[in-house]
Structure 1
Amino acid sequence: MTLTTTAVVAVAATLVAVTQAGSTPSPSPSPRPERPPYNGTGPTMLRFGCHQLVIDRIDPLVNPGAIPSPHQHQIVGGDAFNASMRLSDISASSSCTTCSYSDDFSNYWTSNLYFGARNGSYKRVPQIPNHTDWDGLDEFTPRTNGGLVAYYVSPGKSEVTAFKPGFRMFVGDAALRSAPQGRWNLSSQTCFRCYSGPDFGGDRLPPCWDPAVDTQHLPDRPCYGIRSNVVFPTCWDGKNLDSADHKSHVAYPVEGPHVFDGINTAKECPPSHPVKIPQVMVEIIYDTTVFNDPSEWPEDGSQPFVLSTGDRSGYSQHADYVFGWKGDALQRGMDAGCIAAHCPGLATQTVEEATRCKVRELVDEKYEGWLDTLPGDPPQPPVTASSALTPCPTTPRGKGNGKGKREGKGKAEGNGKG
């Protein structure tokens, strides 16, 4: 997202709230009451970069203790991350974090993206740092290596309740291979943006708002990079830090999933989940430009990219979250009425400090360069049609080190500009 403070105000004045189940956001301007944003008393939108912590095939939520887990993830955040993580205050067991807010020891993890060449080989798509228009105010995010940008939104002071130590949640469904069917239209909760030109071309509207560049599936045309956005639910049952499926303790508002507008989170939460929580969103950018040679795409013309779940549709994109902000830091941030990467009272660190935070890989396998298979050769689960079903396969398949290399085939390196 590339909005200046002024642009945020303008966009906020035109965004249309989703008020009916199954409705979709419209990019058409629609007036709404003006409110002074981000002035110390209004909404908060934290937007900050997190450097990559590790790439590994473990998942302490869905496959706790499994080394390896079925598919690969990229992880950011605190160094307490491990194959197993108890319902505890991970800020107390972390010594460093890869995020710019140095009190955020949370962990966030998502799928990786691979290019599937015509000859059957695979190569991981490199990530590039997100850009920012807050010149001089966010020197961290544009200098990260891999990782993601995290967002936290609150409508105003005392409007949301920060997560409690030990809280975690999961959004998405790693078994999906088609548009999810269910009560809600989730196209505003996970989407891919196909940049239409160099330097983040076409990035005009908030995530999942622009049908010209946003799709719930992986784009079916060459892009100047692909951005993935995943938005978490905004209501909590107020009791459980987790649930068996890592989803049932959170819910969408009565009016349906709230689109990301940087200001609001939920009008009304259901009685079963009455507590309004911050809207969390993660944003990842993949540099697909070096893979835009059509002679290397599948002969049938289908798009060549595949998530580390083994999914070519993109519908299986998902994200995991384990809360780890220190003390009351997140609540103070949510009540502060501030914006972006600098919020009064919240400590920050330099990207140099963040890059020194690391954890070792637990699964010894090759995942860079040309591979014969995706890491782990992930087993393909029965395809699901609803994001409310089992989120991930539970049985890993061997180590799947993918050591085969097909030099001279697949896509050659380019200049990164397409």
Structure 2
Amino acid sequence: MMKPNKSVALAWMITVAGCGGSDGSGGESEQPVLALKPATPTFSVKPDAIIYEPYTHIEFSADLAASYECQLDTDDKSGDITDCSSPMLLLPLAADSHRFKVWAVADNGARSNSAELSWQVASTFGADGSVHADLVRTSVMPSKADPASWRGIFRINCDFAHSSYHDPIVFPGQANAAHLHRFYGNTLVDETTDIDSLFTEGESSCQGNTLNRSAYWVPALLAPEYNPVTGEPLYDEQGELRWRVVPAVVGNDEQAHEIFYYSAGVDDLDAIQSIPVGMKIIAGNAKAGPGSEQDTAVVRWHCQSWGSSDAGNPRWSSTIPECVAPDRLRMDVFFPSCWNGTDLDSADHQSHLAYPQRGSGTQGMICPATHPVPIIRVSFHYAFGVTPDVYEPQSKSSRGWRLASDMYDVTQDSPGGISLHADWMNAWHPEVLQTVLDGCIREGLDCHDGNLANGFRLTGTRPGSQTEPPIINMGMGY
């Protein structure tokens, strides 16, 4: 047997079986196995020394590598080293300095030296002199919130982005599997949307544009169509009622009709945490119907003329009331704001969260022990104009309106809207959402129009494609 050259042996560890059989009988020998140490990885895609978004793409490779191990932002080689592969998308990244290491691992377990990268994520608010393009300076300081109502709150406007029969939370990867939804926020949301694409791609129809690529969607609100001359209902070729979408009053910055709120659900404002990127939440029950009306503390309807308020006039309806023109129909959906501290989603898209409850004595509203982490409370607040193009001609009201998710016959005795629910996926820029928490909610302020209470506000709204597909099966879909 030939001995390897010493210089080669420094790079190779060689395991050689005996030349004969294990019993010395001269049987067939095993073939030599070379245990090679892989090369140190090299980077083909890496971040600049300073980047201005809270994510980055990295690609790497190494000769003789069977797998890779990576470590982000720690010098402790015994911890936070995980299996990884190239390419990688790192998100979310805080506005801070970051360090990334990668090792190549051979089939035999031999490990390369580490390759390292270092870079800085710049602050959105211009710590290096460069303010993000989706921020505007303002001298307006928000006033204190009414402690009997919102404690602390941040409000934004969003324009309508588009409509479709997709639902990336309930039916991921399945086209046209849901009832008709109306989407706000990230303009590219479809059935293929996941947190990576949501956080890094597209623009937003909401104030702040790319600082808030979150996705917001609700079932479409529908009204029967009527002959404008006779007032008689119109029917399609199959003899079914024809329907049209009732649009929400959104996207008008000058009117300042905020439709998405971020507020405090518990009384201990200092205990509230920001919402992790990628969290998915559904509020309300899409399967609710007559006999299973929902709690109006979670989802509710009311006419604007009622002057409803939690503090002074808690007049709410679990079904769509008959609001008469020129009134507006209002809709509120409150998302749970107590987290189990671990999961960003759950099988039913709800169990990882819970609603606050009233504590004993002077505790006020607190989180239950099963979901002990209070996070920012998300809520949707829409207004729908009762106008001639959508109202019922005889009563000039919202009579007969329904949600695309209402799986029951809507009549005067069983009004629509019982299945009210909403979906949300978080893709806020983490530094901006933390600013909302620190400056508006924890300080007990009422921050309107995207005002961040730090000398900046978010830029205005913008429309998406505003695609409107045909209404199929009363909006219930294919």
TM, length-normalised to structure 2: 0.56
Q: Which residue pairs with 1:295 in the alignment?
A: 394
Q: Which residue pairs with 2:418 in the alignment?
A: 315
Is 2:289 the partner of 1:193?
no
Partner-residue secondary structure (3-state), 2:330 = strand
Distance 2:256 2:168 in 1: 26
Q: Deviations over 1:68-124 (max 9, x none)?
A: 123111111123522123344732x13421111342111110111111244422122
Partner-residue secondary structure (3-state), 1:50 = coil
Q: CA deviation at 1:156?
A: 6.9
Q: Which residue pairs with 1:84 in the alignment?
A: 192
Q: Which residue pairs with 1:411 in the alignment?
A: none
Q: CA deviation at 1:280?
A: 0.8
Q: Deviations over 1:51-76 (max 9, x none)?
A: 11111111101111221123111111
Q: CA deviation at 1:294?
A: 4.4
Distance 1:77 1:360, change over 3 A: same
Write the mapping of 1:210-221 to structure 2, written as runs, cut at 5 A. 210-211=314-315, 214-221=316-323
Partner-residue secondary structure (3-state), 1:177 = coil
The one-letter code sitting in structure 2 at the alignment partner of 1:348 is L
Write the mapping of 1:11-410 to structure 2, written as runs, cut at 5 A. 12-13=147-148, 43-88=151-196, 90-91=198-199, 93-102=200-209, 103-117=211-225, 118-119=233-234, 120-129=241-250, 139=254, 141-142=256-257, 149-154=259-264, 158-178=270-290, 180=292, 186-196=295-305, 202-203=306-307, 205-206=309-310, 209-211=313-315, 214-223=316-325, 224-255=327-358, 267-290=365-388, 291-295=390-394, 303-311=399-407, 312=410, 313-336=416-439, 337=443, 338=445, 339-341=447-449, 342-345=451-454, 347-351=457-461, 354-355=462-463, 358=464, 365-366=469-470, 374-378=471-475, 397=478
| Counterpart contact for 1:194–1:225, Cα < 8 Å | yes
Q: CA deviation at 1:254?
A: 3.4
| Counterpart contact for 2:166–2:175, Cα < 8 Å | yes
Q: CA deviation at 1:8?
A: 4.8
Give the number of aligned pairs.
Answer: 303
Q: Deviations over 1:265-294 (max 9, x none)?
A: 972212221100111110111112324454
Distance 2:364 2:197 in 1: 27
| Counterpart contact for 1:171–1:232, Cα < 8 Å | yes
Partner-residue secondary structure (3-state), 1:193 = strand
Distance 2:292 2:144 in 1: 33
| Counterpart contact for 1:114–1:308, Cα < 8 Å | yes
TM, length-normalised to structure 1: 0.64
Distance 1:250 1:323 in 2: 14
Q: Identity across aligned pairs (percent)?
A: 22
Distance 1:101 1:272, change over 3 A: same
Q: CA deviation at 1:317?
A: 0.9
Distance 1:140 1:240, change over 3 A: farther
Distance 1:113 1:332 in 2: 34
Distance 1:157 1:176, change over 3 A: closer
Distance 1:309 1:139, change over 3 A: same
The one-letter code sitting in structure 1 at the alignment partner of 2:157 is G
Distance 1:180 1:266, change over 3 A: farther
The one-letter code sitting in structure 2 at the alignment partner of 1:153 is S
Gaps of 5+ in 1: 16-36, 38-42, 132-137, 143-147, 197-201, 257-264, 367-373, 380-395, 398-418
Q: Deviations over 1:292-330 (max 9, x none)?
A: 454388xxx993101122454211011000001112221
Distance 1:376 1:203 in 2: 35
Partner-residue secondary structure (3-state), 1:335 = helix
Q: CA deviation at 1:377?
A: 4.4
Distance 2:458 2:284 in 1: 30
Distance 1:246 1:343 in 2: 30
Distance 1:293 1:191, change over 3 A: same
Considering Cα pairs closer than 8 Å and 6+ residues apart, tell me whether 1 or 2 has the greater RCO.
1
Q: CA deviation at 1:151?
A: 0.3
Distance 2:475 2:379 in 1: 26
Whichever structure has more strand as a proportion of its residues is 2
| Counterpart contact for 1:71–1:376, Cα < 8 Å | no
Partner-residue secondary structure (3-state), 1:161 = coil
Distance 2:304 2:255 in 1: 22
Q: Deviations over 1:333-386 (max 9, x none)?
A: 1111242221134551133xx23xx3585xx842xxxxxxx435455xxxxxxx
The one-letter code sitting in structure 2 at the alignment partner of 1:123 is R
